[in-house]
Amino acid sequence: MQTTIQIEKKTLERLKYFKEHEKESYNEVVNKLLDEMEEGELSDFAFEGILRGIEDMKAGRTTPLQNVAKKFGIKLEE
């Protein structure tokens, strides 16, 4: 069974941030967030994301913060 809920556009944009891939439904996103809140600790989803990030760093698939800041004209404090 499905239903429709009303949310503000700002909320929709916030939900988009949590999508892992374009085809992930908002139902999946909301349930993922609710699961994380209920667990009250590091969820499998969060843990897997951390591991992916570590692997990306090891494989050189990251961009140094200084480079990103320079690209967007952001001055970092030292």
* Structural domains of the chain, count: 1
Alpha carbon of residue 21 to chain centroid = 10
Residue 47, in any domain of the structure: yes
Mean pLDDT of the chain: 87
- Domain range enclosing 36: 9-71
Q: What are phi and psi of 47, to 5 degrees?
A: -60, -45
pLDDT digit string, tens, across residues 9-41 = 999 998 998 899 989 999 999 998 888 777 666
Residue 22, in any domain of the structure: yes
Predicted local distance difference test score (pLDDT) of residue 41: 67
- Candidates 39, 42, 34; CA nearest to 15 is 34
- Candidates 11, 74, 39; CA nearest to 47 is 39
Check: CB of residue 35 under 8 Å from CB of residue 43: yes
